[in-house]
Amino acid sequence: MARPVLIIEDDPDISESLKYNLEREGLLTVVAATGEQGLIEALNERNPPMLIVLDLMLPGMSGTELCRRFRREPLTRRTPIIILTAKGSESDRVAGLDLGADDYITKPFSVRELLARVRAVLRRMDEGAGKTYEDDHLMVDFADIRVICNGRKIKLTNKEFSLLSVLAKSADRVITRQQLLDNVWGYSYYGDARTLDVHIRRLRQKLEDCGDCIETVVGVGYRFTGTSEKPEGN
C-alpha cells in the first residue's frame, strides 16, 4: 500500500488545493483539519504518512505542539515535515527548523514552489536510504561503519560516525544544532550544547583533507557539502 502525504491544514481552500495538486503528481493524500485529527492520522500504524505538510496555526492542538510530538513518537520521528505558515520572519523560520521540520514555506505561497519542495524532500529521503555516500575524495559506508578519505581509512568514535552519517545523509541541507543533538545524543539529552561543537571540531580534524565537507551555518547549525571538485589538502 502506498504511503500518503498527510496535509494538516484548517483552511479548506488551501487543503483542497494541495490535495488536488499533490494527487496530480501521483501522490496519495490524507487531509486533517485539526491538530487532534492530524495526530491520529500521523500515528496510523497500518499506513503512516511518508511526509507531513503542517500548518502551525490550527484549532485545538497547535502545529508547534504537533511537530514536537511527531519528533518524540517512534513512528513519526524520521517522517519529513514541511511547515506551512503565515509566520515568515527569520526567527520564526529558525524556530520551525529547531522544532524538527525539514522545510518551511510561508503563506501566501506558490503551489508550484510547494510541489518542488515536496519533490526535493522525497528525493532526499531516497538518497538518504542508500548504503553509502561517495564523492571525489570521501566515502562513508553507513552499513559497515567505515569512512575513507583519499584512499585512507579514518578511525572515528561511534558518536563521531553517527554525527557524520546524519549530516551526509542530508547532504546540502542545513541541519540545526538541536536536530543534531536529538538524532545523535537522543531526545533525553539535556547536557551542555557545546558538546556538539567539540565533536564537530574533532570530526573535522580526524577527516583531515576531507574535513571541510562540513560547513558551519552561523546561528543555525551545520551543512554537509561534500568534497567534490575540491583540491586535496584544502
User: Residue 113 has what pLDDT?
Assistant: 86
Q: Which residues of the chain have pLDDT under 50?
A: 187-188, 230-234
Q: Pairing state of beta strands 29-32 and 5-8?
A: parallel
| 213: in domain | yes
In a domain, 234, yes or no: no
96 belongs to a structural domain: yes
- Residue-wise pLDDT for 214-229, tens only, equals 999 988 899 999 986 5
Query: For residue 228, what pLDDT is reported?
Result: 65
Residue 123 located in a structural domain: yes
Residue 59: per-residue pLDDT: 87
Residues 115 and 87 in one domain: yes
Q: What is the pLDDT of residues 8-60, one digit of tens each?
A: 999 999 999 999 999 998 899 999 999 999 999 999 988 899 999 999 889 88
Does residue 229 sit within a domain? Answer: no
Quote the pLDDT of residue 232.
Answer: 43
Please check whether residues 30 and 16 belong to one and the same domain: yes
Does residue 110 sit within a domain? yes
Asked whether residue 9 falls in the same domain as residue 106, the answer is yes
Question: Do residue 79 and residue 188 come from a single domain?
Answer: no
Domain end marker among 128, 161, 176: 128
Alpha helix ranges (H) inside 50-110 = 63-72, 90-98
Domain final residue, candidates 128, 148, 169? 128
Same-domain status, 11 and 112 = yes
Q: In whole angstroms, how far apart are CA 219 and each of 94, 216, 225, 228?
A: 9, 9, 18, 26
Give the C-alpha separation, 27 to 3, whole Å: 9
Q: What percent of the chain has pLDDT over 90?
A: 43
Q: Are residues 17 and 34 in the same domain?
A: yes
User: Any idea what the CATH number is for the domain that residue 107 is in?
Assistant: 3.40.50.2300
**Beta strands 174-176 and 146-149, pairing class:** unpaired
pLDDT of residue 181: 83
21 plus 122 within the same structural domain: yes
**Contact predicate 147/164, CB 8 Å:** yes
Q: Are 175 and 221 in contact (CB under 8 A)?
A: yes
Mean of the per-residue pLDDT values of the chain? 85
Distance between CA atoms of residues 189 and 112, nearest Å: 39
Exposure string (b/e) for 82-106, b if CB count within 10 Å is 16 or more?
Answer: bbbbeeeeeebbbbbbbbbbbbbbe
pLDDT of residue 28: 92
Same domain, 27 and 79: yes
Same domain, 115 and 150: no
3-state DSSP helix/strand/coil % of the chain, to nearest 5: 40, 20, 40
Verify that 89 and 159 share a domain, yes or no.
no
In the chain, the amino acid numbered 20 is Y
Q: How far apart are CA 134 and CA 148, in angstroms?
A: 9
Within-domain flag for 168:
yes
Which domain-ending residue is among 74, 106, 128?
128
Same structural domain, 210 and 115: no
- Count the domains in the chain: 2
Q: Taking CA 89 as the corner, what is the angle to CA 215 and CA 195, rounded to the nearest 5 degrees?
A: 35
* Domain of 20, in residue numbers: 5-128
Residues 9 and 124 in one domain: yes
Please report whether residue 230 resides in a domain.
no
Q: For the domain that residue 190 is a member of, what is the CATH number?
A: 1.10.10.10
